[in-house]
């Protein structure tokens, strides 16, 4: 039996050469994971903020859990990994981080881990700081993306103020700001999607030169 399992010496010697000559799979330059990441962020933000704005009754709030875990979380993190793969560090950091944010929110809601409004307020405050950093990083990209980050920043700040005890009105303000942010993110995603296809029309994003 051993004679059939063992490789012949000459075959074993040639294998390293075969491995060295095998070309690495190149990543096509046309790949653009950003529309996926933006869509995942937009849809999840829209659903959560529709609840905060009072459009969805409290009894239906648990619908956010599945969306946050799978679309806002996993799908957006995948988009972030693909951004790193094509060499886009900024988008990779953004989508991976916000994907982790939605995974954390979804898991916490599912397991009833948000027991202290103050603790959750500091959690949101930390993400507001992160969003402000990403806003600074986006200042040389395009107007559409800058606007998305600016409104997301205001959304998280408003929701943090509510959790710090500022009153339910701040939650409603944050909810409506989040809906606006979701629409802007969808617009930016659609602009990128149309730019990557043979579309009959394109949407402007107003790049900053």
pLDDT digit string (tens) for 52-76?
A: 999 988 888 899 999 999 999 999 9
| pLDDT computed for residue 198 by the predictor | 86
Chain centre to alpha carbon of residue 149: 12
Asked whether residue 188 carries a pLDDT value surpassing 50, the answer given is yes
Asked if 54 and 204 touch (Cβ cutoff 8 Å), the reply is: no
Mean per-residue pLDDT, 171-197 = 97
Closest CA to 91 of 31, 154, 26: 31
Please report the pLDDT score of residue 175 as a whole number.
Answer: 97
How confident is the model over 194-202, as a mean pLDDT? 90
Q: pLDDT per residue over 113-141, tens digit each?
A: 999 999 999 999 999 999 999 999 999 99
């Amino acid at each position: 039996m051993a004679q059939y399992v063992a490789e012949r010496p000459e075959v074993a010697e040639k294998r390293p050469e075969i491995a060295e000559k095998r070309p690495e799979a190149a990543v096509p330059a046309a790949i653009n994971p950003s529309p996926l990441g933006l869509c995942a962020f937009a849809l999840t933000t829209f659903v959560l903020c529709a609840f905060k704005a009072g459009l969805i009754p409290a009894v239906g709030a648990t619908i956010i859990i599945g969306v946050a875990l799978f679309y806002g979380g996993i799908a957006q993190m995948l988009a972030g990994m693909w951004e790193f793969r094509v060499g886009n560090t900024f988008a990779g950091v953004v989508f991976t981080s916000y994907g982790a944010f939605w995974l954390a929110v979804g898991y916490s809601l599912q397991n009833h881990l948000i027991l202290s409004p103050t603790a959750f307020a500091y959690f949101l405050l930390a993400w507001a700081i992160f969003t402000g950093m990403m806003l600074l990083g986006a200042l040389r990209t395009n107007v559409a993306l800058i606007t998305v980050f600016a409104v997301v920043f205001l959304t998280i700040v408003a929701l943090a103020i509510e959790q710090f005890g500022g009153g339910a009105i701040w939650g409603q303000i944050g909810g409506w700001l989040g809906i606006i942010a979701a629409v802007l993110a969808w617009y930016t995603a659609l602009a990128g999607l149309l730019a990557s296809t043979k579309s009959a029309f394109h949407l402007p994003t107003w790049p900053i030169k």
